[in-house]
Structure 1
Amino acid sequence: MGFDLGSLAVAVISVLGVGLLLGAGIPLIYALAVRSHESDRPGSAAVSVALIAACVLLAIAGIVMIVFGDAIFGG
């Protein structure tokens, strides 16, 4: 039984990616949405709405993973 660095690297990258997306990613996307909403550029309102919708969907996905994670992932 050996130590597989490849699968360890994949696991670490997966955890970091999900952590950044659901942890620091949502406030970043929200900040970009607020900045876009304050801008006077054409189309900035649509971009702002799309980014806020992404924040809401990511937050709901995080809650679903927390509540139903065992049922979804079979843990």
Structure 2
Amino acid sequence: MFDLEVLLVAVGSVLGVGLLLGAGIPLIYALGVRSRESGRPGSNAVSAALMLVCVLLALGGIVVIVFGDAIFGG
């Protein structure tokens, strides 16, 4: 039997992850660059934190690509 609720949850999950990882990482990077250039007090720390998040997400993606079978049991 076709379950519409399960389908909507799955589509919503895929859409959310796609937005987060597809458009979210460049957005975080852009906010980090903008923060560094603003010259406000504390902006260098905010910029460094945002850049660190970008680096960690990129490294996480590389780990999933290289070791995905071992991690997810493929």
Deviation, 1:31, is 0.3
Q: What CA distance in whole angstroms lies between the structure 1 residues aligned with 2:34 and 2:19?
A: 20
- Secondary structure of 1:41's aligned partner: coil
TM-score (norm 2): 0.86
Residue in 1 that maps onto 2:7 = 8
Alignment of 1:59-74 (within 5 A): 59-74=58-73
Residue in 2 that maps onto 1:25 = 24
Deviation, 1:52, is 0.1
Q: What CA distance in whole angstroms lies between the structure 2 residues aligned with 1:54 and 1:37?
A: 15
Q: What CA distance in whole angstroms lies between the structure 2 residues aligned with 1:6 and 1:74?
A: 28
Aligned-partner residue type, residue 47 of structure 1:
V
- Structure with larger RCO (C-alpha < 8 A, sep 6+): 1
TM-score (norm 1): 0.85
Report the aligned-residue RMSD: 1.3
Aligned-partner residue type, residue 34 of structure 2:
R
4+ residue runs over 4 A deviation: none
5+ residue gaps, structure 2 = none
Aligned length: 74
